Amino acid sequence: MNIDTAWLEEHVFHHALTPLEQRTLRDLVEVHHYAKGESLIVEQSVVDGLLVLKEGSVALRHEQHGQKVQIARLEAGVQLGDMSLFGGGCASATVVALTDCVVYQLPQSALQYMMQYRQSMVQDIMRNSIRNLSGALRRMNDHQAYALQYMQGVHASC
Amino acid sequence: MLKAVRTHHGKQEIDMDINMTWLEEHIFHRTLSSDDKIILKGLIETLHYSKGEMILEEGQEPEGLFVLLSGSVLLEHEKNGQKVRIAKLEEGAQFGDMSLFEGGTTSVSVRAGEACVLYKFSQKSMHYMMEYRQSLSNDIMLNTIRSLAQAIRQMNDTQAYTAQYMQGKRA
pLDDT tens readout for residues A46-88? 889 999 999 999 999 988 777 788 888 999 999 998 888 887 7
pLDDT of B78 reads 86
The per-residue pLDDT of chain B, averaged, comes to: 84
CA atoms within 13 A on the CB side of A94: 16
- Position B159 scores a pLDDT of 73
The dihedral over CA atoms of B93, B96, B102, B107, expressed in degrees to the nearest 10, equals 100
Count of structural domains within chain A: 1
Maximal C-alpha separation, chain B: 63
Q: What pLDDT is recorded for position A154?
A: 56
Q: Stretch A101-115: mean pLDDT, rounded? A: 94
CATH of the domain at B38: 2.60.120.10
Highest average pLDDT, of A2-11, A83-92, A133-142, B145-154, comes from: A2-11
Under an 8 A CB cutoff, do A127 and B141 touch?
A: yes
CATH number of residue A49's parent domain:
2.60.120.10
Q: How many domains does chain B have?
A: 1
Q: Is B142 on the interface with A (CB under 8 A)?
A: yes
For the full predicted model, state whether its pTM sits above 0.90. no
Q: For residue B66, what are the β-bridge partners?
A: B95, B120
Range of the domain at A152: 5-157
Instruction: Say which of B78, B138, B164 has its CB closest to residue A69.
Output: B164
Categorize the per-residue pLDDT at B133 as very low, low, confident or very high, splitting at 50, 70 and 90: very high
- The Cα-based distances of A58 to A6, A101, B75 in angstroms read 23, 8, 30
Tens digits of residue pLDDT in B43-102: 999 999 999 999 999 988 888 999 999 999 999 988 888 888 888 999 999 988 877 887
Residue B106 structural domain:
2-170
**Based on C-alpha coordinates, what's the Rg of chain A?**
18
ipTM: 0.79
- B148 reaches A (C-beta below 8 A): yes
Q: A139-144: list long-range contacts, CB under 8 Å, 24+ apart.
A: A139/A72, A140/B152, A140/B155, A140/B159, A141/B75, A141/B77, A141/B86, A141/B107, A141/B108, A141/B155, A142/B77, A142/B79, A143/B159, A143/B162, A144/B77, A144/B84, A144/B86, A144/B155, A144/B158, A144/B159, A144/B162
CA distances from B120 to A35, A152, B22, B154 (A): 47, 35, 14, 25
Q: Report yes or no: A126 at the B interface, CB cutoff 8 Å.
A: yes
A50 neighbors A81 (Cβ within 8 angstroms)? yes
Taking the Cβ of residue A154 and every Cβ of chain B, the question of whether any pair is shorter than 8 Å is answered with yes
